Structure 1
Amino acid sequence: MTDPNFNEPGKRFFYSFVPGDDFYEALMEAHRELTDEESLALNARLILVLANHIGDLSVLREALVVASGYGRPGSDIVPAK
């Protein structure tokens, strides 16, 4: 469900999401002291676990579009401030 992260239908406005900050901290802790290869494997497993948990292909496709376009020149995706 992407509704909490979108302000208007058809437009992407990401706002500060405090639990996301907590998750980021936990994610960084999970990666602490891992090799690059172990870190990549952890990310791959986590992506699959979360995708299975979400279980909605349209939401997963939307997430792929957002992740693929974020930070690219010409992208209309705006990060939180």
Structure 2
Amino acid sequence: MTKLITEPNLPRPDDFYQELTDLHRDLTDEQSVDVNARLILLLCNHIGDQEVLSEAMQTARKHIPAQ
């Protein structure tokens, strides 16, 4: 079983962030949501570990305030 890595793990995080923001440039809000969903599904498929993916979803959700 692999554990979700939550410590910084990108060799060049600023370059990644720039590429991620560039990905959304000139997109409508709907297109931006669509490209995010596609990117998430591609990365989930690449990871391929349900336990890690479940942990990631739980971790992401716990930082969203309740309405």
**Shift of residue 39, structure 1, vs aligned partner:** 0.3
How many residue pairs were aligned? 64
The residue type equivalent to 2:38 in the other structure is: R
- Unpaired runs of 5+ residues, structure 2, are none
Q: Distance in 2 between matches of 1:18 and 1:24?
A: 12
Structure number with higher relative contact order (C-alpha < 8 Å, ≥ 6 residues apart): 2
Alignment of 1:1-81 (within 5 A): 2-3=4-5, 5=6, 14-15=7-8, 19-72=12-65
TM-score, normalised with respect to structure 2 = 0.77
Letter in 1 for 2:30: E
Determine the C-alpha separation between the residues in 1 that align with 2:49 and 2:37: 18
Question: TM-score, normalised to structure 1's length?
Answer: 0.65
Any idea what the Cα deviations from partners look like across 1:44-80, whole Å, max 9, x if unmatched?
Answer: 100000000000000000000111012538xxxxxxx
Instruction: List alignment gaps of at least 5 residues for structure 1.
Output: 6-13, 74-81
Percent identity over paired residues? 45
Task: State the 1:24 CA deviation.
Answer: 1.8
